[in-house]
Structure 1
C-alpha cells in the first residue's frame, strides 16, 4: 500500500478482507472512484455522467466537443467546478452562438450516462448513431511506432496500476512516443478527457494517433471522428458498427493491439510495416 500522499487522484482507500491461500487478513485496498458529474451548460443540465473525478477541465472541453455542444474550443468561455453532496457539478459557460447555449428538452439526456455507456439517455436514433464528416489525411505510422506506444502506455496509467479498474486513452506522435494520457472508469470518458487535453495543448491531430485500453465500440470511433483523429488503436475488439463508421469517416481502425500482433480493420495504408517504408 503506497503512502496516502502518493495515492493517485481518482483513487480511494477502502477496507477489505483479503483471502489468500487459506489465510484471511484485514487490509486497506485502493479502489477507483466513480461519482456523478453533472454537465450544466449556461444553467441547463445536459447530462449526468458517471466518471472519475479528475482532469475535469479536459473532460468538460472534450465532452463539449464530442457531443457537439460547441463547434470549437474557443466557444467554451468559462468552467466552474462545484463540489456537492451528491457529486460534482461542472458549470460550463459557452458562447451564445454555440449549440449548447440554448438547450431544450430534445437535447438533454433522459438517463444518467453510466461509466460503461457513452449515449445512455439519448432520445432518438439520429443522436445515438452519428455520422461525422471524413477526417483528414493524417500521418503514416510504422508498426514499430505502434509497438512503442503500447509498451510506453503500460507505465503511464497510475490509476489502473493502483486499482486495476480504469481505462486509459493516450495520444502518441508518429514515432510512437506518448505525449498525453488520460484515465477514467469509463472508456468514453477517458477519450473525452484526452480530446480535451490535446485541444488545450494545441496538438495537431494530423501529427499522431490515439490508443485506448478498451474495445473500439462505435461511440469511440464517433468521438475520434469528431476530433479529427485519423488513427485509433484499441487493445480489445471493435464492433461491426465501429468498423463501418471508421470506414466511412476515413479512420484507420486497429483492434487487438498487443505486443507482437494487431488487426487493421479499415484504411490500412496509414500503417507501414517498417519506419522506412
Structure 2
C-alpha cells in the first residue's frame, strides 16, 4: 500500500535528508466483454471487490452472479458477463482526487431506498471511531477510509486514495458475501458528495455517515430518494441532514 521514498524535511528552518511513507497510486484499465470501459487511478489492493462494486454502482450488472469470469493481469482487468452488459458509450476515467468522476445524476433514473433500517446515535459514534482508526492513514496521511456496518457491527473496511473507490470496494465485498445492503450503513472519512450518495442509492444502502461535510446536491438527492445523510460526526455531535427517522429517539418537527 505504500513505499518508503526519500525527501528533504524542514524543521525550524533546518533541512535534512530523510525518508517518508508514500501511498501507492496505480492505473488500472477495466474491460467488459472486450470493451474498455474504465481507466481507474486507485490503490493496488482488493481489486476484485473494487471492480464488482464499480460495475454494480454503474448499473452494468445487478449482482456479482452475473460475472462469468474476472481476470487481473498486471494493470489490465478483464470481465466477462453471463448476459450482454449495458454499457454507455465512451471510456470513463476515475481519478484518485476528491472530485473523482461523476456518473449520471438524473434523480428520475435513480432508485429509491427500500429499507426499514434504523440505528442509534450511540452506535454511530462508536462505529465511526472504530472504522476510521487507521494506522495506514496515520503513517502516510494519504488515504481515505470507508467502512460498512450493520446492527451487529462492522462488516468490512477499505482504504484507498479515493473515497469513491473505497466505497465501491465495500459494496463489492458485501455482494461477494451475500450481505444485505438494505440493513447496512456506510461510514466514510471524507466529504459526502453527490457521487457518494448516488452509489448508496444504486446499492440500496439507506444511510451514509461521515466525520466531514456534505454538499447541497448530495442532500437534495438523498432527501428525494430516502437516503439518510449524517455529517460532522465528531466527539458527541453530529448533523443529520436527511431522513432523521432512521435514528430512533429524534422528535421530528413537521
Quick check: TM above 0.5?
Answer: yes
Distance in 2 separating the partners of 1:129 and 1:118: 18
State the shift of 1:273 in Å: 4.2
> Which residue of the partner structure matches residue 115 of structure 1?
96
In the TM superposition, what are the counterparts of 1:1-277 in structure 2 within 5 Å? 10-83=1-74, 88-100=75-87, 106-109=88-91, 112-116=93-97, 117-119=99-101, 127-129=104-106, 131-155=109-133, 157-174=134-151, 177-273=153-249
Q: Deviations over 1:198-218 (max 9, x none)?
A: 111211123331111111100
Distance in 1 separating the partners of 2:4 and 2:31: 30
Q: Deviations over 1:110-136 (max 9, x none)?
A: 6x321124326x6xxxx3545411112
Larger displacement relative to structure 2 (163-172 or 17-26): 17-26
Q: Deviations over 1:112-163 (max 9, x none)?
A: 321124326x6xxxx35454111122421111000101210233x3432221
Q: SS at the partner of 2:94?
A: coil
Q: Any gaps of 5 or more consecutive residues in structure 1?
A: 1-9, 101-105
Q: SS at the partner of 2:60?
A: coil
- For normalisation by structure 1, the TM-score amounts to 0.84
Q: Any gaps of 5 or more consecutive residues in structure 2?
A: none
- For normalisation by structure 2, the TM-score amounts to 0.91
Structure 1 segments (4+ residues) deviating >6 Å: none
Paired residue total: 248
Q: Contact 2:72–2:78 (CA<8 Å) still a contact in 1?
A: yes
Q: Contact 1:150–1:259 (CA<8 Å) still a contact in 2?
A: no
